[in-house]
Amino acid sequence: MSITPAALLARDHANDSLGTPFSNVSPYLIDCFTVVFLLVLYRYGVSGGEVKLLAAGYLFVSIMAVWGALRSLAICRYITDTPKSRVQSAAQGFVELQGECDFFGDRECQGFMSGPPCVWHRYSIIRLTGWPLQIGASRIPFVLCDGTGSCVINPVGAKVISSSKRTWTENGKRFSSRYIYPGATMYVLGELRTRSTESHSRKRTEVSRLLAIWKKDRRWLNDEFDANSDGVIDSNEWEAVRDRAEVVTQRLMEANAADPVNHMIGKPKNGMPFIISDRDPAPLANTFMGLSIINVLVAVGSFVYAGLLFSGVW
């Protein structure tokens, strides 16, 4: 069965970037919430609030920071410990691939606000006062090629980390776009799925449907397949009918398929991380390790400060 952009876009929907289960929330989301909560606590503390309530707030920040540290460390370990595979020899399941990215068939993705053509982009429009007006990302599949084969990348639900960026200000608004251009070396960590099993199942369904239609036209069946002219389609002749139906079905499936590709990488169903980046995996892993260390420092600082507040020393 071939994979088409239309089929992917019709089937998938937007979801969290690094896992659906609660235990696999993106560390970026955790850190964002932690920073916002810290700012609220700082303002609350400056204005003079209940000491125990303030201490409980910093204790909560410490717990959130530990959670963020563990998530960042887990992703770092996924990047460093998952062996790199080649498209041709990769087994189904959680894999790491690296290769050159390109458009999927004739689906060219134009960059945000007439920007350069790209395989993926994310954009934001923000008022200068700081409130976002619009945020979004492209959902069009693209292809990764590593010399041994090609694989469709469905970016829906991925944490995409790109190095190319455009930013400008116009009419009191700040426009920003991150993108990955075609031909860039891309790193992907996600779930590889091969479509051969689904293709076989669909073919059997289509063959059965075609045979059911042919059975209604007995005259045509006898004219085409009744070799001994006895007016009955026997078992041997019925095998010829099935063979013809399989050939017709295969040709129809090939004719209706656009951009046939047998492999696709998408968001893992078990909540494991789904990462796409045009950066090398080594510095990418270091980024998440650094994020984990920062979270540990925040956790320790918040915990100590909460303890001082509870004890009345501060």
What is the reported pLDDT for 289? 94
One-letter amino acid of 1: M
The residue that leads in pLDDT, 49 or 56, is 56
Average pLDDT, stretch 219-225?
A: 81
Average pLDDT, stretch 81-109?
A: 86
Beta-carbon contacts of residue 250 (< 8 Å; ≥ 6 apart)? 203
Indicate whether 101 pLDDT > 60: yes
Query: pLDDT digit string (tens) for 243-267?
Result: 888 888 877 766 555 545 568 898 8
What is the reported pLDDT for 196? 55
What is the reported pLDDT for 96? 93
Average pLDDT, stretch 234-247?
A: 87
Query: pLDDT digit string (tens) for 70-90?
Result: 989 999 999 999 888 988 888
What is the reported pLDDT for 21? 40
What is the reported pLDDT for 24? 54
pLDDT band at 11 (very low <50, low <70, confident <90, very high): very low
Tokens 């068939």 belong to residue: 105
Average pLDDT, stretch 41-51?
A: 68
Average pLDDT, stretch 99-110?
A: 82
| R_g of the chain computed on alpha carbons | 28
The residue that leads in pLDDT, 108 or 264, is 264
What is the reported pLDDT for 292? 94
Average pLDDT, stretch 57-64?
A: 90
One-letter amino acid of 87: V
pLDDT band at 293 (very low <50, low <70, confident <90, very high): very high
Average pLDDT, stretch 222-231?
A: 82
Query: pLDDT digit string (tens) for 171-214?
Result: 888 899 999 999 999 999 999 987 654 566 677 888 888 888 88
Average pLDDT of the chain? 80
The model's pTM is 0.67
Three-class HEC string of the chain: CCCCHHHHHHHCCCCCCCCCCHHHCCHHHHHHHHHHHHHHHHHHHHCCCCHHHHHHHHHHHHHHHHHHHHHHHHHHHHHHHCCECCCCCCCCEEEEEEEEEEEECCECEEECCCEEEECEEEEEEEECCCCEEEEEECCCCEEEECCCCEEEECCCCCEEECCEEEEEEECCEEEEEEEECCCCEEEEEEEEEECHHHHHHHHHHHHHHHHHHHHCCHHHHHHHHCCCCCCCCCHHHHHHHHHHHHHHHHHHHHHHCCCCCCEEEECCCCCCCCEEECCCHHHHHHHHHHHHHHHHHHHHHHHHHHHHHHHCCC
Query: pLDDT digit string (tens) for 114-137?
Result: 778 899 998 888 888 767 778 888
What is the reported pLDDT for 250? 77
